[in-house]
Each structure stands twice: as structure tokens, then as C-alpha cells.
Amino acid sequence: MNFEHTEDRRMLSDMLRRFVAEQYDFATRMRHAESPQGYSPEFWQRYAELGAIGALFTEADGGLGGAGFDISVVFEALGRGMVVEPFLDAVMVGSAIASKGTPQQREALEGLIAGSLTAALAHAEPQSGYDLNQVQARAQRSADGWVLNGAKAVVYAGEHADLFLVSARTSGADDDEAGISLFFVTKATPGLSLRGYGLIDGGRAAELVLDNVQLGPGALLGEADAGYPLLERAVGRGILALCAEAVGAMDCARDATLEYLRTRRQFGAPLGSFQALQHRMADVLLEIEQARSAVINAAAAVDHPDRVTRERALSAAKVTIGRIGTLVAEECIQLHGGIGMTWELPLAHYAKRLVMIDHQLGDEDHHLRRYIALGQA
């Protein structure tokens, strides 16, 4: 396998890294995260102008790339700045629209790529866990389309999203894969209410309640009862994005720790001169490279036509990132000593973000079980 990025991807990576380093420093990130919206609409537009959002989608869909390695390049750069703008939901909702959207629904994809619209995936429910097939929200046919009832939990960037892609059950039991459908719901739809709150690693999320939400027939994405495969593919791209983001965050945590070990002196010598600390740092470096390899494998497999091959690679990457992300967070804080947990130090926020990435879209334990189950299918 050729691990070299194309020239276009290298240019995109360099451009985004420079932008994040020069325009999205830690103070800027915290200002965005602590704002009422949890992100900056101005910066969302600037990222769109740079082509960062367009790179997540194919040229046929109005984008600039759309392959797994395009996603990994963008999110690795975003991870370096712990960017809080709603890229993750953009790639998941946008990929679902690109796959099955009608011409009218695809207008939302154009808005996403242009940075004029934000979207959020509303799938998780208060008691659903991580399994995608666990859906209790219900959608029933009506004379004019559909009626939705139910609740959705931890909808990232949902408090101020323009559009929600909502999963609801149209047939079957609460844990059936068949019978799940996907619907578009705008934030102004009567019957939709939400409660926003801050997240411990930055940004905001929301709880959604759907109370007899009336939707027209055009709100259904794809076919009724056939939303699970579409949801799985969309979430798969989100898993790849999170794993790549984690690698970018790990790189920054590593660099900050190396710099600290070189400059902090103890007993008249730099901390980095002590062999025990050198060994611990060497272990961290090796683990990060293993995480990078897992992301490369997932990026190569994200569009694989065989479901088992694709999903096992994605779950394997999420297991690896979950384990190594926690290890990097703990070791870098330990090697910084007492200041490692101070709120003013960016490292504490990188560590917090790495731990939280493990819990988004399925934690290490969930994906390990899923990896094993897929191997037995």
C-alpha cells in the first residue's frame, strides 16, 4: 500500500494546519467553545471558503474529494486545534444526503458545503446505548406524510443546527435493524423542542423531544424501513473522522510533552535526560504511530463494498484509538506533573478531548464486541 498522500491532499493538509496554527489558537478555541452557540458561524464560513468542508464530499456531490483519506486529512488537522465547529455531523448527514437524497434534499448538502447551513444527526436516545439498531422513536404514516414522536439524546451542535437528520422506527421491534427510517426535520418545525447544554470537552449538545411532529412525504430520506444501512455508512464515516481527529490531538499532546521535558529542569538537569521518562515517552510515540496506522487502514476501507471488511476496519480503528487515546492523555498529564490538569494549560483540554472521543459513536468496549461479532458473521 502506498502511504503517500496525493499532492492535492498534502496541499490541503498544509493549508489547514497553517490556518489552525495561525488563526485558531487555544484562546480562540475556548472563546468559540464557551459561546452561546458552542462554535463560531464566522469560522464555519471561513472553513468552507478554504474548501475544508468541500473536501469531505465527492466532486459529483459538489465537493472536492470525498474519499476516506480526504476525511482523515481534514480531521487530523482539525484535531490539532480541537476545532469545535460542526464538521463531524456535516460529514455524517452530508454523506447520507449524497447517497440517497432527492434533488430537493440535496440543496441542504450544497448549503453544508458552502458553510451557510449546519446539520446534526439525531439518532442516539436516552436508553439506546451505542447500538445503531436501538431506536424507540416512532414515525407513523399520516394523510399528509408522517408523524414523529420520541426523544433524542446528546445531539452534538444540535442547539443551533438548521437541520436535523432524525432516525425513527416505522416498523418492527425496538432493536430490529429493519424498520428504521431517516427523516429531515428543520429547527422551526412545530412539535420539536430542545434543551441545550455545554460539554465538558468544549462545544454544546442538545436533547430533542419530538411531540407529534408533522412532516411531509418529502422529509423521508431514501426508502421507508430501509434506513439502517444508510445510517451505518454515515456513522462509519463519522468514526473515521473521529479517529483521525484523535491522531491530530495526540500529536499536539506529544509535542507539548516533549517540549516540557526538554525545558523543565529537576536536580539541575532537564527532565528529558532521565532514562525512565525517556522510556515512557518512547512508548507514547510508538503507540501514536500504531493509532496512525489504524486510521490509515480505516480510511482505505471506509468505501469498501464488502460490509464486514469495511465495518471491522472501522471498529478496529475505534478500539485502537480508544485505548491509545486514553494512554496518551494519562501519560502526557503524568509527565507534566501537577500542572498537567490545570485549566489554563491546553494539554488538559487535549487529554479531555481524547477521552471523550472514545465515547462518541461507540466506545472501546462496544467496538471490540462489534469487531468480534462481525468476524463471526
Q: Which helix or strand (DSSP H or E) is residue 181 part of?
A: strand 180-186
- Strand partners for 140: 147
Q: Which helix or strand (DSSP H or E) is residue 69 part of?
A: helix 68-80
C-alpha cell at 342: 490545570
C-alpha cell at 361: 459513536
Name the band, by pLDDT with cuts 50, 70 and 90, for residue 2: low
C-alpha cell at 269: 538537569
pLDDT score of 134 more than 80? yes
Per-residue pLDDT at 167: 97
Residues of the chain with CATH 2.40.110.10: 120-225
Per-residue pLDDT at 3: 64
Name the band, by pLDDT with cuts 50, 70 and 90, for residue 377: low
Name the band, by pLDDT with cuts 50, 70 and 90, for residue 124: very high
Name the band, by pLDDT with cuts 50, 70 and 90, for residue 263: confident
The position carrying cell 473521529 is 242
pLDDT score of 272 more than 80? no
The position carrying cell 503517500 is 4
Residues of the chain with CATH 1.10.540.10: 7-118
| More confident of the two residues 51 and 272 | 51
User: Each residue of 137-169: pLDDT tens digit?
Assistant: 999 999 999 999 999 999 999 999 999 999 999
Residues of the chain with CATH 1.20.140.10: 229-376
Q: What is the pTM of this model?
A: 0.95
The position carrying cell 516533549 is 258
Average pLDDT over residues 109-136: 95
Mean pLDDT of the chain: 94
Output the CA torsion sign for 333, 334, 336, 342: positive
Name the band, by pLDDT with cuts 50, 70 and 90, for residue 254: very high
User: Each residue of 276-327: pLDDT tens digit?
Assistant: 888 999 999 999 999 999 999 999 999 999 999 999 999 999 999 999 999 9
Average pLDDT over residues 339-367: 92
Per-residue pLDDT at 110: 96
pLDDT score of 1 more than 70? no
The position carrying cell 431517516 is 182
The position carrying cell 469545535 is 84
Name the band, by pLDDT with cuts 50, 70 and 90, for residue 5: confident
Output the CA torsion sign for 329, 71, 132, 187: positive
| More confident of the two residues 342 and 145 | 145
Determine the CATH number of domain 120-225: 2.40.110.10
Per-residue pLDDT at 200: 87
Counting Cβ atoms within 10 Å, is residue 280 exposed (0-12), middle (13-18) or buried (19+)? middle
Q: DSSP characters for 288-299?
A: HHHHHHHHHHHH
Name the band, by pLDDT with cuts 50, 70 and 90, for residue 274: confident
Q: Which helix or strand (DSSP H or E) is residue 191 part of?
A: none
- Strand partners for 182: 167, 221
Name the band, by pLDDT with cuts 50, 70 and 90, for residue 121: very high
CATH classification for the domain delimited by 229-376, as one of 1.20.140.10, 3.40.50.300, 3.40.605.10, 2.40.37.20:
1.20.140.10
191-198: long-range contacts at Cβ-Cβ below 8 A with a sequence spacing of 24 or more?
191/148, 192/164, 194/155, 194/158, 194/159, 196/38, 196/158, 196/159, 196/160, 198/34, 198/38
Give the phi and the psi of residue 196 in degrees, each rounded to 5: -95, 155
| More confident of the two residues 73 and 272 | 73
Average pLDDT over residues 208-226: 96
Average pLDDT over residues 112-127: 95
| More confident of the two residues 207 and 1 | 207
pLDDT score of 245 more than 90? yes
Q: Which residues contact 144 (CB under 8 A, 6 or more apart)?
A: 214, 216, 217
User: Each residue of 55-113: pLDDT tens digit?
Assistant: 999 999 999 999 999 999 999 999 999 999 999 999 999 999 999 999 999 999 999 99
Whole-Å CA distances, 145 to 132, 165, 174: 25, 16, 22
Average pLDDT over residues 249-253: 96
d(CA 265, CA 260): 9
The position carrying cell 464486514 is 308
- Assigned CATH class of 7-118: mainly alpha
